[in-house]
Homo-oligomer: A and B are copies of this chain.
Amino acid sequence: MSIGPGPGLGSPRTPLDIANLFTRKLSHFAPLSASDQDYLDALTSADEHYPADVDIMKEGSPPSSVFVVKEGIAVRYRMLPDGGRQIMTFLIPGDSCNIHVFLRSAMTHSIGTLTPVRIAPISRDQMMETFANRPRISAALWWSGLQEMAILRERVVSLGRRDARGRIAYLLCEMLWRFAAVGQTNGKSYRLPLTQTELGDALGLTPVPVNRILKEFRLAGFIAMERQVLNVLDCPALQTIAGFDESYLELGGASSEVEHYFNALEAG
């Protein structure tokens, strides 16, 4: 049971009226009670604003706090001595960052904004309390971490064995699924306010091929772009180009076995 190509897409089991995107994302992983949802609302009630193209956390420094992205797009990235930049992860609304902060010494990469970003900082104590008292939320966070790993591994596959066309096709689909998981998509379209240089930095490409292939996809009728909103017209075609036929995002809901585990935790 996964959100992705095929049945299930666009119909999360969670009601769409969950305003908090973080909550919405986590509810894909574990059944959250109303109390859990209220708790998460309170947890992410703080607000912090950053302009575009600014570092939130710098490589080498100890992470100051956990945070959840509420609006805008941020990235984990690393600069190389030769001036190159590699974007490792896109952080979109609903994504959390440094949940493990209390075990971290120094950052091995920076986190920066691509667009203006609004985040909810969460203190270490709040995280500890959450892990101690909210088993369902903890389990959802745990599983969310697994999803992050799966996405990262998929990125390795992309960069290692797909050509430029396949990488772009895959990224476009991945972002569609991720935005869909937090209800930020209109069926097949979503806002992607990134420059082609930024896409290239995530894909291991330079802006020139990114531009050419996006044009090719546009001409082929696979996608349409206007005013920073991307419209995925032919997702199956893109998947074929990317060379895969399944969803590897692990956005699936909890299995009955897992639910049993949650209940045991809460009872104890």
Contacts and interface: CB of A to CB of B under 8 A. Distances in A.
A161 B84 contact: yes
A255 interface: yes
Interface residues of A, number: 53
A85 B204 contact: no
Interface in A126-180: 128, 139, 142-143, 145-146, 148-150, 152-157, 159-162
A64 to B, nearest CB: 14
Copy total for this chain: 2
B85 A161 contact: yes
A46 interface: no
B204 A146 contact: no
B82 A156 contact: no
Interface stretch (A19-27, A49-57, A100-108): A100-108
21 contacts: A76-B153, A78-B157, A82-B243, A84-B161, A86-B160, A88-B153, A102-B261, A103-B142, A103-B258, A104-B146, A105-B250, A105-B252, A108-B153, A108-B154, A108-B250, A149-B149, A149-B152, A155-B156, A156-B159, A159-B160, A160-B202
